[in-house]
């Protein structure tokens, strides 16, 4: 694990020792040389990006450049009207500002983690569940990450109920419309064997039980230990219990340590992706590394279903807004039909737009040359909206540009499998930035915390929207003042170690549980320990 704190102190003290007595001519010259080398380098870099950008724009944005020039950033329209030389200097100016402000390690290094490390081993009292005469079958619902965390919960539930778990069926009806089975997405044999010491898992229900009457249950969401012990008793006459939904059926908090660790063993070790997914995922991470060394994985949740579901139409055309409204009203399981987009946005309930993400990352100090992997499905409106991010960060990489057609062929018609690739690339990235807080964002953030508090920058959307609106009305300008406010706002939003947050105060009953931070978003303290504890 990288220990940034001590490394930092060491290098600092050694330089101060050699410099302390003699701030000599040599030192000063060295500084000047370094500084100018740095700016020349940045200049060359930004020029390269401009030409990259130009190519991109030519290739991908020709049709839209006319009609959308109005909605483009001030920065871009400026560069169009000025002679090339000035244009490049403007780039250089903007490119240099944040680089000089923010030290490299602040942009990229993992959070100092105080010697914390993953801990998933059971305690000495722990015993495997013996249950062999009762079976639990599960229909896992939702997208990939909802299913993964749901399955981890079901492993714990089967353990508590002293039952054998049948490999879960995956959701084929959700928005994802994916026909993948468990073994298409996960390494089934590994799943079964790595949980051997916990409970029995079988591929299928034994033949003789296929026709016996089953107890069909919708377990209450966020239930605790007592609920499932009670269920085990009241359903003791059934040999097969069918669970209709797996998402959020288990409480986040107040469960025995061994149950929490079992959830972590399942999610972080047992639920390994299937070989083809793991292999391609690793390959793509290597390709990203070979392109630029470090990269940001941006979960750009600017997809049609999300915008329609949240009713966020800010920055969209009337036709687009109308299309999203119709989709929402005709999707039965989305309960809220009438949504005031303005209120959603002010409340911080909208995914950031590609343009907003661009402003955000630039304000944080990431230089335009930063390599950004877009972990997402199809971006709504495609290049029209993406161009507003690409104008600031031309080095955007998509699955489709990173992998060959041949490599992606087996995955493209399976949303869950492509999401698994995004998951791997996001967990492995140097910096993970989710533009919205969904299941994927939570799962990736939690996994990164577990693996050593890798940097996850969660945008404070409510705070940012206020700044964005000030920019739009001209009360604030981009540059160092915006930068310092954005950086200040996100000092403690970068995935540094902290214990999982409880419920918001003042709430009672189920509403409380809903506002707790998810166990899988932050498995500290149960699955992350200080050196002495384990
Ligand atoms: C679990 O089930 C097995 C039989 O399947 C039984 O022998 C054992 O006593 C049960 N354990 C508990 C704690 O109920
Ligand atoms: C939506 O909410 C905003 C802010 O509260 C308000 O000004 C606006 O009139 C509302 N729009 C509609 C269509 O109700």
Ligand 2 pocket mutation, candidates 340, 344, 465, criterion most atoms within 8 A of CB: 340
Ligand 1 center–CA 124 separation, angstroms: 19
| Structural domain ending residue among the three candidates 230, 254, 270 | 270
If asked whether residues 381 and 415 sit together in one domain, one would say yes
Q: What is the mean predicted confidence (pLDDT) over 111-120?
A: 88
Q: What is the mean predicted confidence (pLDDT) over 250-269?
A: 98
Q: Could you identify the atom of ligand 2 that is nearest to the CA of residue 340? A: 1
Ligand 1 center–CA 132 separation, angstroms: 8
Supply the residue whose CA is at minimum distance from atom 12 of ligand 1: 162
If asked whether residues 416 and 480 sit together in one domain, one would say yes
If asked whether residues 425 and 438 sit together in one domain, one would say yes
Question: Is the pLDDT assigned to residue 346 strictly greater than 60?
Answer: yes
Question: Is the pLDDT assigned to residue 390 strictly greater than 90?
Answer: yes
What span, in angstroms and rounded, lies between the C-alpha atoms of 515 and 503?
5
If asked whether residues 349 and 419 sit together in one domain, one would say yes
Question: Is the pLDDT assigned to residue 99 strictly greater than 90?
Answer: no
Question: Is the pLDDT assigned to residue 224 strictly greater than 50?
Answer: yes
If asked whether residues 311 and 255 sit together in one domain, one would say no
If asked whether residues 110 and 134 sit together in one domain, one would say no
Does residue 35 sit within a domain?
Answer: no
If asked whether residues 151 and 135 sit together in one domain, one would say yes
Does residue 58 sit within a domain?
Answer: no
Which run of H or E residues covers position 164? strand 164-166
If asked whether residues 214 and 300 sit together in one domain, one would say no
| Structure confidence at residue 412 as a pLDDT band (50, 70, 90) | confident
Residue ranges making up the domain that contains 260? 123-270
pLDDT tens-digit series, residues 182-223: 999 999 999 999 999 999 999 999 999 999 999 999 999 999
Instruction: Tell me how far the alpha carbon of residue 299 is from its chain's centroid.
Output: 6
Does residue 316 sit within a domain?
Answer: yes
Share of the chain residues as helix, strand and coil, in percent rounded to the nearest 5: 50, 10, 40
Question: Is the pLDDT assigned to residue 97 strictly greater than 60?
Answer: no
Ligand 1 center–CA 330 separation, angstroms: 48
Supply the residue whose CA is at minimum distance from atom 7 of ligand 2: 342
| Structural domain ending residue among the three candidates 208, 236, 270 | 270
If asked whether residues 377 and 483 sit together in one domain, one would say yes
In a 3-state reduction of DSSP, which class is residue 4?
Answer: helix
Ligand 1 pocket mutation, candidates 129, 130, 206, 233, criterion most atoms within 8 A of CB: 130
| Average pLDDT score over the chain | 84
Does residue 6 sit within a domain?
Answer: no
Does residue 297 sit within a domain?
Answer: yes
What would the two tokens of residue 409 be? 């062929």
pLDDT tens-digit series, residues 431-479: 999 999 999 999 999 999 999 999 999 999 999 999 999 999 999 999 9
Quick one: which of 148, 149, 176 has its CA closest to 305?
176
Does residue 42 sit within a domain?
Answer: no
What span, in angstroms and rounded, lies between the C-alpha atoms of 209 and 217?
17
Q: What is the CATH number of the domain that holds 240?
A: 3.40.50.11340
Supply the residue whose CA is at minimum distance from atom 9 of ligand 1: 130
Predicted TM-score (pTM) of the model is 0.81
SS3 per-residue string spanning 93-141? HHHHHHHHHCCHHHHHCCCCCCCCEECCCCCCCCCCCCCCCCEEEEECC
pLDDT tens-digit series, residues 367-380: 999 999 999 988 99
Question: Is the pLDDT assigned to residue 48 strictly greater than 60?
Answer: no
Q: What is the mean predicted confidence (pLDDT) over 348-376?
A: 97
If asked whether residues 311 and 360 sit together in one domain, one would say yes
Q: What is the mean predicted confidence (pLDDT) over 24-36?
A: 54
Longest CA–CA separation in the chain, Å: 89
Does residue 283 sit within a domain?
Answer: yes
| Ligand number, closest to the Cα atom of 313 | 2
Ligand 2 center–CA 342 separation, angstroms: 6
If asked whether residues 310 and 446 sit together in one domain, one would say yes
Distances (CA, A) of 499 to 449, 452, 495: 11, 14, 11
Q: Could you identify the atom of ligand 1 that is nearest to the CA of residue 133? A: 5
Supply the residue whose CA is at minimum distance from atom 10 of ligand 2: 340
User: Would you state the pLDDT for residue 139?
Assistant: 96
Ligand 2 center–CA 152 separation, angstroms: 42
User: Would you state the pLDDT for residue 34?
Assistant: 56
| Ligand number, closest to the Cα atom of 134 | 1
Total domains present in the chain: 2
Does residue 67 sit within a domain?
Answer: no
If asked whether residues 300 and 321 sit together in one domain, one would say yes
User: Would you state the pLDDT for residue 15?
Assistant: 34
- Please list every protein residue whose CB sits less than 6 Å from any atom of ligand 1: 130-133, 162
- Give me the DSSP letters along 421-438: HHHHHHHHSSEEEESS-S
pLDDT tens-digit series, residues 494-531: 999 999 999 999 988 888 999 999 999 999 999 999 87
What span, in angstroms and rounded, lies between the C-alpha atoms of 461 and 349?
8
| Structural domain ending residue among the three candidates 270, 290, 319 | 270
Question: Is the pLDDT assigned to residue 16 strictly greater than 90?
Answer: no
| Ligand number, closest to the Cα atom of 321 | 2
């Amino acid at each position: 694990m990288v220990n940034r704190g001590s490394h930092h102190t060491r290098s600092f003290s050694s330089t101060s020792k050699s410099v302390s007595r003699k701030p000599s001519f040599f030192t000063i010259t060295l500084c000047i040389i370094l500084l100018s080398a740095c700016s020349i380098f940045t200049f060359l870099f930004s020029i390269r990006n401009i030409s990259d950008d130009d190519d991109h724009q030519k290739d991908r944005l020709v049709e839209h450049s006319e009609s959308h020039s109005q909605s483009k950033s001030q920065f871009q329209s400026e560069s169009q009207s000025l002679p090339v030389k000035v244009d490049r200097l403007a780039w250089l100016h903007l490119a240099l500002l944040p680089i000089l402000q923010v030290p490299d390690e602040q942009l990229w290094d993992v959070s100092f983690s105080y010697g914390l490390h993953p801990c998933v081993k059971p305690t000495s009292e722990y015993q495997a569940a013996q249950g062999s005469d009762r079976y639990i079958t599960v229909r896992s619902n939702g997208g990939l990450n909802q299913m993964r965390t749901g399955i981890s919960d079901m492993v714990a539930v089967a353990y508590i109920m002293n039952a054998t778990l049948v490999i879960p069926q995956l959701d084929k009806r959700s928005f994802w419309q994916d026909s993948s089975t468990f073994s298409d997405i996960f390494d089934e044999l590994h799943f079964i064997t790595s949980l051997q010491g916990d409970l029995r898992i079988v591929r299928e229900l034994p033949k003789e039980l296929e026709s016996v009457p089953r107890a069909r249950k919708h377990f209450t969401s966020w239930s605790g230990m007592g609920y499932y012990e009670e269920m085990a008793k009241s359903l003791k006459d059934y040999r097969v219990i069918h669970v209709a939904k797996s998402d959020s059926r288990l409480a986040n908090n107040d469960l025995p340590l061994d149950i929490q660790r079992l959830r972590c063993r399942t999610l972080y070790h047992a639920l390994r992706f299937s070989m083809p997914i793991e292999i391609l995922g690793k390959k793509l991470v290597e390709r990203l590394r070979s392109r630029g060394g470090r990269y940001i994985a941006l979960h750009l949740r600017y997809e049609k279903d999300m915008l329609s579901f949240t009713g966020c139409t800010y920055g969209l055309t009337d036709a687009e807004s109308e299309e999203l409204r119709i989709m929402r009203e005709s999707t039965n399981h989305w309960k809220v039909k009438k949504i005031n987009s303005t209120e959603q946005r002010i409340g911080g309930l909208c995914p950031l737009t590609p343009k907003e993400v661009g402003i955000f990352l630039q304000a944080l100090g990431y230089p335009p040359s930063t390599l950004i992997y877009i972990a997402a499905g199809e971006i709504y409106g495609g290049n029209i909206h993406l161009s507003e991010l690409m104008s600031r960060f031309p080095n955007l990489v998509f699955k489709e540009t990173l992998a060959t057609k041949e490599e992606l062929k087996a995955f493209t018609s399976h949303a869950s499998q492509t999401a698994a690739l995004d998951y791997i690339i996001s967990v492995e990235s140097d910096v993970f930035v989710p533009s919205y807080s969904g299941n994927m964002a939570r799962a990736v953030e939690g996994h990164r915390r577990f693996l050593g508090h890798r940097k996850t920058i969660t945008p404070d959307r409510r705070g940012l929207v206020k700044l964005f609106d000030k920019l739009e009305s001209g009360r604030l300008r981009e540059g160092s003042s915006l930068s310092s406010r954005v950086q200040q706002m996100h000092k403690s939003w970068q995935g540094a170690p902290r214990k999982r947050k409880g419920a918001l105060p003042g709430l009672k009953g189920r509403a409380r549980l809903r506002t707790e931070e998810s166990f899988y978003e932050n498995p500290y303290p149960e699955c992350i320990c200080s050196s002495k504890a384990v």
